[in-house]
Structure 1
Amino acid sequence: MTSTSTAPRDLRDFYEDPSVPVASGDARSLRQARMLADAIGPATARTAVVLDIGCGDGTAAATAAPLLAGHRVIGVDWSQDALKRAHAHLPYVVRGELTDGGLPFADGSADAVLFSEVIEHLVDPDSALDELRRVLRPGGHLMLSTPNLAAWYNRGLLLAGVQPVFSEVSLRGIHGRPGTEVVGHLRLYTARALREFVAASGFEVVRVAGAPFHGVPRPLRALDRLACAVPSASSILLLHARRT
């Protein structure tokens, strides 16, 4: 199926469009928030500074908020339009970019970083992880989520010669794969590739878990939830790592 739209002038124009989907669903947000809450503990012991990098419109942080009560969550995005929308969900929002020194925080000033559905959109993920490592304190937590190239249905699609779900060959439309939404994915990871990449960037990988994807057709959603028990085959990869 092919979907067409007016071509964006560049990637920034594309991501400024509020109609572009920015998250893979509440189930992913909740699972990721539970992992983070378990890692940093309750705010009664210590108030943690959590940076939601690439916060978009703030809906994912709003979903996670009840599990992170008492901790200071700061939304960060390069888009001023996104930050205006995020402010409805987050008390603290600031502009920042994933370049060398592009985040407006001192070295080692954050206890945790939420990095949800961002890395697949980046031209230079290496520099992005360098910047996240800079702002995290030693031992600080990185909670990263991204679509899984090797999701259970993608394995079957590739065998049939069909372009995998989540992959995109154009910003103007969908070509050669199921789905109707263009979301601007530039890079995709398997569980193994994600582990190796994050470890090579100066982090110790603690755990990789799976999460379902809201875009899976309703008759297949029960199977998609079952696939989460095997993260390497799940729709969404959830990675917890610590800064070394």
Structure 2
Amino acid sequence: MPLAQARTAPRYRHPGGSTAFGTNLAYRLGKLKELGLLEGVWLDCGCADGGYTEALVASGADKAIGVDPEQSRIDEASARRQAALERGDRRAQRTEYYCCTDNFPLPAASVDAALMNEVLEHVADEAATLREIHRVLRPGGRLVVISPNRWFPFEGHGMRVMGRDFGFPIPLLPWLPYRLATKVMSARNYWPHELRDTVAAAGFQIEKVDYVLPVFELYQWMPAFAISAYRRLMPIIERSPLRRFGVSTMIVARRPA
């Protein structure tokens, strides 16, 4: 059983929640596999409790290094790694975890690829984080950034108004004028060209701009038959202009050789 499949999926999720389980995880990593990227040494930047770090190794990466600024998350990931080692799962030997912010404990040009899955919108300094990833990537290495798409008509992270948090998807919030939306948004939200330009400004060459559709893994308010029908249509939507309304934008970029 792949490490990531051993994780317990939560009963309820929304677009701003974790994607490190089940169909959502397989769908997102499937995009990377189709591009032939799941090999070599990966950096999972903002790894949380290690769901994608584990899955990268299970999906073909030679090694995956998870970094996150919250010690409690790193402790949870490390504990699960230790449990896997005790079970004799050799793949756990190919994962590492470090608690850090923008100064990664890694040599320059030491990783082949880096993943920022729903992370860039949360960091304190986008430019500083991207520069640090640029430093540890080998020349020619790839960066994959997946962050909220403002064309998606819901803000999955909720909003904060007058000191009160509303932690559920807020309809049409991303479509408000930026100066109004940012006053209440709990996390950044990017138009696709904004995300592309942010990555390019850090010295990366953009190779691909793609979109990530919502998978509706455990949508509390959607009936099962509707989710099943939607998933059957996903390959068609992926080839249509409707893909631009995906929940997230995916940027694939390269550190110039």
Unaligned runs of 5+ in 1: 1-19, 155-163, 179-183
1:234 aligned onto 2:226: no
Any idea what the Cα deviations from partners look like across 1:89-121, whole Å, max 9, x if unmatched? 5531112212xxx11111111111111110111
Does 2:86 correspond to 1:95? no
2:186 maps to 1:174: no
**In the alignment, which residue of structure 2 is the partner of 1:133?**
134
The one-letter amino acid of 1:204's match is Q
Q: Which residue does 1:68 correspond to in 2?
A: 60
Unaligned runs of 5+ in 2: 1-15, 82-91, 172-184
Query: Which residue identity is paired with 1:120?
Result: E
Q: Which residue of structure 1 aligns with residue 68 of structure 2?
A: 77
Separation in 2, partners of 1:77, 1:132: 13
Q: CA deviation at 1:233?
A: 1.7
Shift of 1:40: 5.7
How much does 1:73 deviate? 0.7
CA contact (8 A) 1:83 1:94 kept: yes
In structure 1, the partner of 2:9 is none
Matches within 5 A, 1:3-22: 21-22=17-18
Kindly state the Cα deviation for residue 29 of structure 1 after the two structures are TM-superposed.
2.9
CA distance in 2, matches of 1:78, 1:34: 27
- Tell me the TM-score normalised to structure 1 length: 0.70
Distance 1:140 1:32, change over 3 A: farther
1:145 shift after superposition: 1.0
Partners of 1:197 and 1:42 in 2: CA distance: 24
Match of 1:189 in 2: 190
- In the TM superposition, residue 218 of structure 1 has moved relative to its aligned partner by 2.8
Match of 1:34 among 22, 30, 36: 30
Aligned to 2:148: 147
Work out whether residues 107 and 136 of structure 1, in 8 Å CA contact, stay in contact via their aligned partners in 2: yes
Return the offset for 1:122: 1.9
Aligned identity (percent) is: 26
Letter in 1 for 2:252: H
1:55 alignment counterpart: 47
Instruction: Report the Cα distance in structure 2 between the residues aligned to 1:201 and 1:37, rounded to whole angstroms.
Output: 25
Q: Aligned pair in 2 of structure 1 residues 78, 112: CA closer, same or farther (>3 Å)?
A: same
Q: TM-score, normalised by structure 2?
A: 0.67
2:248 maps to amino acid: I
Does the aligned pair in 1 maintain the 2:56–2:64 contact within 8 Å?
no
Task: In structure 1, give the amino acid aligned to 2:205.
Answer: E
Residue 66 of structure 2 aligns with an amino acid whose one-letter code is G
Distance 2:208 2:28 in 1: 12
| AA partner of residue 177 (structure 1) | I
Q: Secondary structure at the match of 2:44?
A: strand
Kindly provide the amino acid, as one letter, of the partner of residue 142 in structure 1.
L
